[in-house]
Amino acid sequence: MKSGSNKGDFFSPNIDYVLVYAKNIDAIDGFRLPLEGEYVDRIYTQIEKSGPLKGERYRTMGLYQASLESRINQRYWIKCPDGSFVIPPGKSSPTKLSDGEKITPNSGDGVWRWSVTRYFKESKNNNLVFKETKTSSLLDEKGKKSKWNVYTKIWLKDRLEEGRVPTNLITQFENRHSAAELKELEIPFDYAKPSKLISYLISFFNEKEFTILDFFAGSGTTAHSVIDSNRNDSGNRKFICVQIPENCSDDSDAKKMGFNTIADICKERIRRVIKSTEEKNIQSQIDSQIKPDLDFRVFKLAKSNYKIWEDIKDEKKLKDQLKLFEDPLVEKYNDIDVIYEIIIKEGYSLNSKIEIFKEKLNKIYKVSDGEFFFYVTLDKTLDEKSFNSLSLEQNTMFVCLDSALDDSQKINLEKQCKLRVI
């Protein structure tokens, strides 16, 4: 979490933790990181000089590894360029001296990484490298140290597709980095996580289209990271950030800068990150056809727009309530608020598109969630010409006030579509 600290009596506390949970770990393919340019340049330093893979980059790895467990088909002789034979260290030795001759290893015997079958296949594909060395751990046919070591070629093109497994020690991001990025955005917030750390965790997944939930959004680091990740690899990830409107203290920098709550800080940071990203896109002159979706919506919990039925025993009060429920919605409701409540009740996404479809005779909205959509109107009365011109189908949902239709209209509409009344 930091370096250079002089706190602590015996050891400076430098480590923070990221805890990873899965509902079902068997359903996960595993984490993979894309190979970074610096890593590639440092590791894949050799270039094939001939053959069908000429010009391809690779690195070498010993075919024998001391940590390998003994397996029956992985201890065998390998013939070297000078005609001599080599085998991993151990006491058991194949009786015949021929290329690929194998034997059941004893406990403690070394084995190759590949089976005999794989060895011959890779040898045929020119994926073996023999190097003369004075430090080989392999044995020759006389049981003495061999002058040869055997390596395999690991091709960059294969590893780029596969990626690499992330280590459980992350050293390139420190908490102090977040202070610098928030200062650049002029956002006052203490102890935020670096956005690049969250982007790094996001990169563990090969998918580029999924939703990331942060139930303790704080200053909006997760949203910042998702926007950056999408810009870097043209992804289509979405974020859901949840933050209670916790008040900023009166003497805080945030309060002095006009932020009343932490939720206000979060929203403003997202706005500034989007603005900054749009400016970077213009500066980098990206393809004009690529127009990333850089929008977000803000929702807050509120009371329902539907009047709540009360369990009343008193006859007079019950009659008053029945009269009250002649209009089922609260006073001074907002159309969009009611529509969002319908969206939630019907299982549509809060990312649904809301547009005014018709406004001449009745104000009718069309709500679209991908390929799915429905119509809704909150007008007190409905002109039949309005919904007759909608081209309704049997699976199309139409929502309106119950009081806006007479019985005949309801029967006709139910034959044309899925009618829902408030």
Task: Reply yes or no on whether the pLDDT at 290 is more than 60.
Answer: no
Helix, coil or strand: residue 261: strand
Task: Reply yes or no on whether the pLDDT at 292 is more than 60.
Answer: no
Question: Is the backbone of residue 162 left (phi > 0), alpha (psi -120 to 50) or beta?
Answer: alpha
Q: What's the mean pLDDT when you consider all of the chain?
A: 88
Determine the pLDDT at residue 214: 96
Determine the pLDDT at residue 175: 82
What average pLDDT does the segment 135-145 reach? 92
* Percent of all residues in the chain with a pLDDT value above 70, rounded to a whole number: 95
What average pLDDT does the segment 235-252 reach? 94
Residue-wise pLDDT tens digits, 4-43: 777 888 988 888 899 999 999 988 888 988 887 788 889 8
What average pLDDT does the segment 168-185 reach? 89
* CB 212 within 8 Å of CB 202: yes
- Of 177 and 322, more confident: 177
Torsion of CA 229, 234, 239, 245, to 10 degrees: 60
pLDDT band for position 2 (50/70/90)?
A: confident
Task: Reply yes or no on whether the pLDDT at 219 is more than 90.
Answer: yes
What average pLDDT does the segment 225-252 reach? 93
Domains of the chain, by residue range, sit at 15-33+167-301, 34-162, 315-421
* CB 374 within 8 Å of CB 346: yes
Determine the pLDDT at residue 182: 92
Determine the pLDDT at residue 48: 92
pLDDT band for position 256 (50/70/90)?
A: very high
pTM of the model: 0.72
pLDDT band for position 288 (50/70/90)?
A: very low
d(CA 409, CA 201): 55
d(CA 246, CA 217): 12
Least confident of 7-11, 336-340, 346-350: 7-11
